[in-house]
């Protein structure tokens, strides 16, 4: 009985501190390897609508996604923005400007809880040439705003976006990384690789 109680206490602690992020679902086009792997490499990131009407949180999500993808995947993320209203055009023509082949749409929900935040995300990669979905995922979790491993990262985003983002950095970063980690890698040719180096992230 004592062992059961200890296990229960540990499980309760895990739930409280959000030790595990949850990617609830993900999907990828069945023809990804033969089509989009070569064709959808240059992206724009848009967080829309930004959570709770707070643009700085939307800006944070888009910036984290752009930087993480440029550093950890072979995408060339050229732009990041956040917009207040739910999109009326699911093909994101406004973001599909010249040189952009796909739009990563982030639709987050963020709620401050105690010393941290509950965060959830619906994400989609939309192909610009026809507005079709390439990849999508849904995830959620809750984390404390303080984490010793993320002190420098938090300082970086506070410096760039202002002190209001501080409590959101760690929960947003952890959920975004777990979600974006399910994105496949596109295939870059030599010209793409040179362009990737020039991005400098």
User: What integer pLDDT is reported at residue 198 of this predicted model?
Assistant: 87
- Position 5 pLDDT exceeds 70: no
pTM value? 0.88
Average the pLDDT over 149-178 and give the result. 96
Pick from 53, 52, 107, 47: which is nearest to 81 by CA? 47
Residue with tokens 């974006």: 180
- CA dist., res. 154 & res. 177, Å (int): 15
Q: Is the pLDDT of residue 52 over 90?
A: no
Complete domains list, the chain, with CATH? 31-108+119-139+175-191 (3.40.50)
Nearest Cα to Cα of residue 172 among 51, 32, 2: 51
Most confident of 21-30, 48-57, 63-72: 63-72
């Amino acid at each position: 009985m004592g062992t059961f109680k200890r296990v229960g206490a540990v499980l309760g602690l895990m739930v409280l501190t959000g030790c595990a992020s949850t990617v609830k679902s993900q999907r990828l086009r069945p023809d990804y390897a033969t089509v989009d792997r070569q064709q959808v490499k240059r992206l724009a990131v848009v967080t829309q609508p930004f959570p709770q009407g707070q643009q700085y949180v939307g800006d944070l999500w888009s910036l984290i996604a752009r930087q993480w993808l440029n550093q950890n995947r072979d995408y060339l993320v050229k732009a990041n923005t956040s917009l207040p209203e739910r999109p009326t055009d699911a093909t994101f023509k406004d973001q599909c400007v010249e040189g952009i082949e796909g739009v990563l749409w982030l639709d987050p929900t963020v709620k401050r809880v105690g010393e941290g935040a509950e965060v959830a995300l619906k994400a989609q990669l939309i192909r610009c040439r026809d507005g079709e979905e390439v990849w999508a995922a849904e995830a959620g979790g809750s984390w404390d705003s303080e984490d010793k491993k993320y002190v420098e990262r938090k300082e970086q985003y506070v410096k760039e976006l202002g002190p209001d983002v501080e409590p959101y950095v760690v929960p947003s970063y952890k959920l975004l990384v777990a979600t974006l980690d399910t994105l496949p890698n596109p295939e870059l040719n030599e010209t793409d690789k040179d362009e990737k180096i020039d991005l400098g992230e």
